[in-house]
């Protein structure tokens, strides 16, 4: 079997059997097709460890980030492990492939006061009644108030909202469902949008059951949500930020307020507690900065 044919079969396996997110399947498929471009469309059984090292080295010389190189390593390891399980190869050449160490950067986080200020500003603009302003205020409140991912927000349907209990059902990574709460400000912003904003955007009743709509009345996409957040949050935290900045801020503020780490893990839908623990580092960094500024013996 040619390498490219095996890559296509593996991508289908990720999508149909493992049911990974479409974006993950595309990223892994792109990585592996780049492997084909570098080493050639050789027979699958001809690929060895030196081919894989050359491929990673080519990406490193091109300037790919360490996180990208780590993802490529994970993609090729998964691919050859699958090929071995399928009996397509006898020996796995990726077993000894070493992934570059990832530098762990702390996420962008806005202070609680800054978040309060920007959300109040969004609500003030929304109070004028513009449907897009009503939608944007609800988006910001929900992303921060529920700590959900942008994909989860874009996928929300009206039936997913329990407005009486102030909870929403979201579908996260790996198609895993969870129910998350949201607070009174998010409830107020959602109610205002659903009553006064969404019907205007859905003037032709073409949106189906989607909660959040774009300017043309169809289900909103991640790019549009990114733009909403970048305009509102970018000036506050500095630099280009996206919807994850609100998720990061929500998690950090929960821990700052004394929330249990495992409760935050469940709220965010993290499979591993280790993923959630990065926010304890954020809180520690902020504590250290406050100490250095305030303590006379710092």
Q: Are 115 and 249 in contact (CB under 8 A)?
A: yes
User: Which CA distances in Å does 96 have to 7, 73, 78, 242?
Assistant: 20, 11, 13, 36
Which residues are marked as active site? 149, 173, 244, 247, 270, 279
- How far apart CA 32 and CA 93 sit, in angstroms, is 14
**Positive/negative CA dihedral, 106, 112, 114, 117:** positive
Q: Are 201 and 188 in contact (CB under 8 A)?
A: no
- What are the b/e assignments for 56-68, b being 16+ CB within 10 Å? beebeeeebeeeb
- How far apart CA 35 and CA 98 sit, in angstroms, is 16
């Amino acid at each position: 079997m040619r390498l490219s044919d095996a890559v296509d079969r593996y991508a289908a396996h990720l999508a149909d059997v493992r049911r990974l997110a479409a974006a993950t399947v595309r990223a892994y498929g792109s990585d592996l097709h780049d492997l084909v471009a570098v080493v050639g469309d050789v027979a699958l059984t001809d690929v060895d460890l030196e081919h894989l090292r050359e491929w990673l080295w080519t990406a490193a010389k091109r300037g790919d980030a360490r996180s990208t190189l780590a993802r490529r390593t994970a993609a090729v390891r998964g691919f050859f492990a699958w090929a071995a399980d399928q009996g397509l190869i006898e020996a796995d050449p990726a077993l000894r492939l070493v992934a570059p160490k990832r530098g762990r950067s702390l996420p962008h986080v806005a202070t609680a006061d800054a978040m309060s200020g920007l959300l109040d500003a969004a609500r003030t603009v929304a109070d004028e009644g513009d449907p897009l302003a009503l939608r944007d205020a609800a988006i910001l409140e929900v992303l921060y108030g529920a700590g959900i991912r942008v994909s989860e927000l874009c996928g929300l349907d009206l039936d997913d909202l329990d407005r009486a209990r102030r909870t929403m059902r979201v579908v996260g990574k790996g198609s895993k469902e969870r129910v998350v709460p949201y607070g009174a400000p998010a409830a107020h912003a959602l109610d205002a949008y659903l009553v006064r904003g969404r019907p205007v955007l859905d003037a032709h009743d073409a949106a189906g059951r989607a909660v959040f709509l774009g300017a043309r009345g169809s289900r909103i996409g991640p790019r549009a949500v990114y733009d909403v957040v970048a305009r509102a949050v970018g000036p506050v935290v500095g630099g280009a930020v996206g919807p994850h900045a609100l998720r990061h801020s929500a998690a950090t503020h929960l821990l700052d307020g004394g929330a249990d780490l495992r409760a935050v893990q469940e709220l965010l839908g993290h499979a591993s507690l280790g993923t959630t623990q990065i926010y304890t580092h954020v809180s520690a960094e902020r504590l250290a900065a406050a100490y250095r500024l305030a303590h006379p013996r710092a």
